Structure 1
Amino acid sequence: MAGRVEARLAELGLTLPEVARPLASYVPAVLSGRYVYTAGQLPVVDGALPVTGKVGAEVTPEAAGELAARCALNGLAAIKSVAGDLDRVVRMVKVVGFVASAPGFTAQPGVVNGASELLGEVLGEAGVHARSAVGVTVLPLDAPVEIEFQAELGGA
């Protein structure tokens, strides 16, 4: 049975995807005490990137924001894979977003807002977090965005 968080996803017309398969020698998420740390989440949909390239060149900032929201969905799936239930998330502590940026592109915070806003819509107050948004020259598979998450859990 779906819990409160997954019911909220359904209200928003979203479904939790399968956990994205790692590209190398790591796991999607690790549980350490009360905290879940995810690996960097790419905006993978059905095992593939829907678009590649640099934000501000091949990818618009608006499209990149939508990709960042997809990273957040993938992050929630990774968190659930080790937490068992997303209702255990009491705080999304930190979000670190990497944006593959064309030269001169400086709107990385706006791109990563796609993930932050989705977390707020889905988790409410528990989705409010500290955040970094970093511009980089290239990401794995030429992804426009990669985001990692740190969440605090409560309950059993």
Structure 2
Amino acid sequence: MARIEAKLEQMGLALPRALQMPANVQMSLPFAWVRVRGARAFVSGHVPLNPDGTIAQPVGKVGADVSPDEGYAAARLVALAHLASLHKALGDLDRITGWLRVFAMVNVAPGFDQMPRVANGFSDLILELYGPDIGTHARSAIGVALPLNVPVECEAEVEIDGA
């Protein structure tokens, strides 16, 4: 078993299935979840998912409907969704040689300004899995309105080996 997958298993974490859109949502998604180009993989925005690929609860605005701690937990789930898509695209999460950039978008209530605290859920998991040499990344965390009223969405860019 690959190193990162073994760490996930030791941590009791499982990669979710791909996003299962709610039945009442009719939306086309004309893009790739992961676009590999040369030694880089660009990861589209992902949302927090349950293991079956459905959108994780709670949903809503952080600072009103969702607590900062729940937002942090949702960002961890986004990291797992990224890893699931990267695994599907690359075949092996150990091919990632560097997490370069993460862009975190937090669905915020008026006056909430702790977006970095929420985004730390994503960053902390990546650093725990990959260590500082590979896992350290540049990051932005902003407050926005998000589709499907999810509390957090992230996109990323990673460096990969050429295997």
> Could you give the per-residue CA deviations for residues 92-145 of structure 1, whole angstroms, max 9, x where no partner exists?
100000001000000000000000000011111211100000111x21100010
C-alpha RMSD over aligned residues: 1.3
Residues 1:129 and 2:137 aligned together: yes
More deviation, 138-147/46-55: 46-55
The 5 Å alignment of 1:11-26 reads: 11-20=10-19, 24-26=29-31
The 5 Å alignment of 1:10-89 reads: 10-20=9-19, 24-45=29-50, 46=52, 47-89=54-96
Q: Residue 16 of structure 2 contacts residue 49 of structure 2 at CA under 8 Å; is this kept in 1?
A: no
Where in structure 1 do 4 or more consecutive aligned residues deviate above 6 Å? none
Cα distance in 1, alignment partners of residues 161 and 20 from structure 2: 26
Percent identity over paired residues: 40
Give unmatched runs, 5+ long, in structure 1: none
Q: Residue 119 of structure 1 contacts residue 127 of structure 1 at CA under 8 Å; is this kept in 2?
A: yes
Q: Which residue of 1 aligns with 2:3?
A: 4
Q: Residue 19 of structure 1 contacts residue 28 of structure 1 at CA under 8 Å; is this kept in 2?
A: no
SS at match of 2:48: coil
SS at match of 1:69: helix
TM-score, length basis structure 2: 0.90
SS at match of 1:25: coil
TM-score, length basis structure 1: 0.94
TM-aligned CA deviation for residue 83 of structure 1: 1.3
TM-aligned CA deviation for residue 49 of structure 1: 2.9
TM-aligned CA deviation for residue 26 of structure 1: 1.6
Q: Residue 67 of structure 1 contacts residue 145 of structure 1 at CA under 8 Å; is this kept in 2?
A: yes
TM-aligned CA deviation for residue 40 of structure 1: 0.3
TM-aligned CA deviation for residue 155 of structure 1: 4.3
More deviation, 21-30/101-110: 21-30
Give unmatched runs, 5+ long, in structure 2: 22-26
> Could you give the per-residue CA deviations for residues 75-94 of structure 1, whole angstroms, max 9, x where no partner exists?
01111121111000010100
Cα distance in 2, alignment partners of residues 92 and 100 from structure 1: 24
The one-letter code of the counterpart of 1:4 is R
